[in-house]
Amino acid sequence: PVLVVDFGAQYAQLIARRVREAQVYSEVVPHTAAVDELLAKNPSAIILSGGPSSVYEEGAPAMDPALVEAGVPVFGICYGFQLLAQALGGTVEATGAREYGRTEVKVTGDGGVLHEELPTRHPAWMSHGDSVTKAPEGAVVTATSEGAPVAGFENTERRIAGVQYHPEVGHSPHGQEVLRRFLHEIAGIRPQWTTASIVEDQIAAISAQVGAGRAICGLSGGVDSAVAATLVQRAIGDRLTCVFVDHGLLRSGERTQVERDFVAATGVNLVTVDARERFLDALAGVTDPEQKRKIIGREFIRVFEQAERDLKAQGDYRFLVQGTLYPDVVESGGGAGTSNIKSHHNVGGLPEDLAFELVEPLRLLFKDEVRRVGLELGLPETIVHRQPFPGPGLGIRIIGEVTADRLATLRAADAIAREELTAAGMDRDIWQCPVVLLADVRSVGVQGDGRTYGHPVVLRPVSSEDAMTADWTRLPYEVLERISTRITNEVAEVNRVVLDVTSKPPGTIEWE
Ligand code: XMP
């Protein structure tokens, strides 16, 4: 693999994704990992990420010089670029010429391998206080900028290179090309990480792990569990049984999507558990968001465990399939405590006392790779490109007590919003658009000749890369108008539609 050494910026995972877009497999490793550990992974190249520190700061994360002596190709980015320059005998200084944001980079000489034939002046994203003022001996300077005398250098013989700017972000339009050239041309790595190869490798790995055994997979309706289940089904056929829990907090059409569309596409064994009443009973009288989440999580696990016990009674189900993704793996290994803002409940969450062996066919994959695998496996677009939907479902989109009537109201309003967004071709522009029912708020309206006293719903369209931060989406007024007119005409209990124009932070995407 190509190892991306994480120096503490949020960019390491993005770099890993970009490397994979160049069809080269990559993994993120913490900067605290010892050189021996890194070399034990037999890396085809090492990329040093950016980071928030200054190389002079006391306690700034350092790089073991042994890393550049090991003969493995190395690429440095931003902070990693400065560490690399320093380790090879170049000079890094605080020149006072800081650069933040969009900056013009000038290609010098013939541009070397990295910058060859790129526009002589092109934009790139910078974020640095210190600068490399002298490149290490033997390295050719191929780019410069106003604040960075050395904005890129390379030593093709030693297969070492780097750039001061961030090639991994969208604001550096030639960044991907520069990364690709490092990987393919300087490091000499062959591009072999393709969707077809991922599918083939994963199916082989699952077959090897499960052998003649049987597996259970919880389906949520979302893309991750669907793709994980399909891969496993390809490997072990009808020795896989999928379990889908209908907790009554689903949106319109979701159960059909799983029971009909998913089964039609895969031919998988499916058991649906209808637990609608049980969840409604458990949620009766509850208005506190955290309490709702805890109850839904708890009931979900109980129902799922019962389904597992029932299946185990019928056969030797030893394996449990989970749709864990690579970012979760990186983050849980990352150590540093992130604060628990909301207790996230993941469908199929592993009950601690149940003896299962885990099968996690998506452990190495980013979300975009999961979607491509899903398409490769022939899953319908409606599943592959489904927007995120929280495990606790509509339960956390009713502000107030969750009741059957309120769920029906919200489900109807939500279906209209989704229909109109799809019809307007907005699905790929938005990350998701929760519709929230303010069930404890009433407002006066007028309809026909009568006064109404109904409830408002909130539209919460957001744009985001990863749900960690988000901005409210500027939906066209015509689309908003159609949604509002239809909801207030077609959903009797709703007489007002309002728009949430809060970014995240400070607002979260969901209201509860
Ligand atoms: P927030 O509201 O925290 O949401 O900004 C971020 C993203 O996570 C989704 N979300 C959840 N997903 N279980 C999930 O599987 C949960 O409990 C949960 N809560 C929020 C939310 O829809 C958004 O995409």
CA 458 to ligand 1 center in whole angstroms: 17
Q: What is the pLDDT of residue 119?
A: 97
User: pLDDT, tens digit, for every residue of 37-75?
Assistant: 999 999 999 999 998 888 888 888 989 999 999 999 999
The answer to whether the annotation marks 226 as part of a ligand binding site is: yes
Report CA(23)–ligand 1 centroid distance (Å).
Answer: 30
**Comma-separated ranges of CATH 3.30.300.10 domains in the chain:** 397-499
Cα→Cα distances 94→61, 82, 103, 151, Å? 17, 11, 18, 14
Residue 112 among known ligand-binding residues: no
- Backbone φ and ψ for 228, nearest 5 degrees, come out as -60, -45
**Closest by CA position to 400, among listed 503, 495, 291:** 291
Structure tokens, 153? 């250098």
For residue 349, the model assigns a pLDDT of 46
> Which amino acid is located at 316 in the chain?
D
Residue 433: active-site member: no
Q: CB count, 10 Å around CB of 345? A: 17
Kindly tell me the sign of the dihedral angle through the C-alpha atoms of 458, 459, 463, 467: positive
pLDDT tens by residue, 213-267: 999 999 999 999 999 999 999 999 999 999 999 999 999 999 999 999 999 999 9
Is 381 an annotated catalytic residue? no
Taking the centre of ligand 1 as the mean of its atom positions, its distance from the CA of residue 40, in whole angstroms, is 37
Rounded (5°) CA angle 358-359-363? 110
Q: Output the CA 310–ligand 1 centroid distance in Å.
A: 30
Tell me if ipTM is over 0.90. Answer: yes
Per-residue model confidence (pLDDT) at position 353: 57
The CATH superfamily holding the domain 195-384 is HUPs (3.40.50.620)
Q: Is 223 annotated as a binding residue?
A: yes
What local confidence, expressed as pLDDT, does residue 508 receive? 96
In the chain, which segments carry CATH 3.40.50.880?
2-186
Ligand 1 atom with the shortest distance to the CA of 341: 3
The average pLDDT across 9-21 equals: 91
Q: Whose CA is nearest to atom 9 of ligand 1?
A: 390
Give dist(CA 341, CA 339) in Å, integer: 6
Residue 148 pLDDT > 60: yes
352 noted as active-site residue: no
Alpha-helical regions (H) of 275-316: 276-283, 289-314
Q: Which residues line ligand 1 (CB under 6 A)?
A: 342, 344-346, 388, 390-392, 432, 467, 504, 508-510
In the set 99, 168, 254, 369, the catalytic residue is 168
Q: What is the 3-state secondary structure (H, E, C) of 337-395?
A: CCCCCCCCCCCCCCCCCCCCEEECCCCCCCHHHHHHHHHHCCCCHHHHCCCCCCCCHHH
Structure tokens given for 19:
């490397």
Instruction: Determine how β-strand 45-48 pairs with β-strand 2-6.
Output: parallel
Catalytic residue among 31, 115, 128, 166: 166
Q: What are the φ and ψ backbone dihedral angles of 296, each rounded to 5 degrees?
A: -65, -45
**pLDDT value for 331:** 78
**338 CA from centroid of ligand 1 (Å):** 16
Q: Hey, what's the torsion of the CAs at 6, 7, 11, 16, to 10 degrees?
A: -20
* Ligand 1 atom, smallest distance to 431 CA: 24
Top mutation candidate among 290, 342, 466 for ligand 1, by most atoms within 8 Å of CB: 342
Long-range contact pairs involving 175-178 (C-beta distance under 8 Å, separation at least 24): 175/18, 175/124, 175/125, 176/18, 176/21, 176/22, 177/118, 178/114, 178/115, 178/118, 178/152
Cα–Cα distance, 155 to 140 (Å, whole number):
6
* Secondary structure (DSSP) of 206-262: HHHHHTT-EEEEEE-SSHHHHHHHHHHHHHHGGGEEEEEEE-S-PPTTHHHIIIIII
Q: Which tops the pLDDT comparison, 332 or 455?
A: 455
* Amino acid at position 410, single letter: L
pLDDT at 468: 87
Backbone angle region of 42, left / alpha / beta, with phi > 0 → left and psi within -120 to 50 → alpha: left
Region of 183 on the Ramachandran plot (φ > 0 left; ψ -120 to 50 alpha; else beta)? alpha
Ligand 1 atom nearest the C-alpha of 511 is 2
CATH number attached to the domain at 397-499 = 3.30.300.10
pLDDT (tens digit per residue) in 299-337:
999 999 899 999 989 998 999 999 999 988 887 764 332
Alpha carbon distance 493, 29 (integer Å): 53
Candidates 482, 472, 475, 490; CA nearest to 413 is: 490
* CA-proximal residue: ligand 1, atom 17 (nearest): 344
CATH 3.40.50.620 domain extents, the chain: 195-384
CATH superfamily for 2-186 is Class I glutamine amidotransferase (GATase) domain (3.40.50.880)
Q: Which atom belonging to ligand 1 lies closest to the Cα atom of 464?
A: 24
* Rounded mean pLDDT, 105-128: 96
Q: Annotated binding residue at 443?
A: no
Among 117, 114, 118, residue whose Cα is nearest residue 135:
114
The string of pLDDT tens digits covering residues 408-428 is: 999 999 999 999 999 999 998
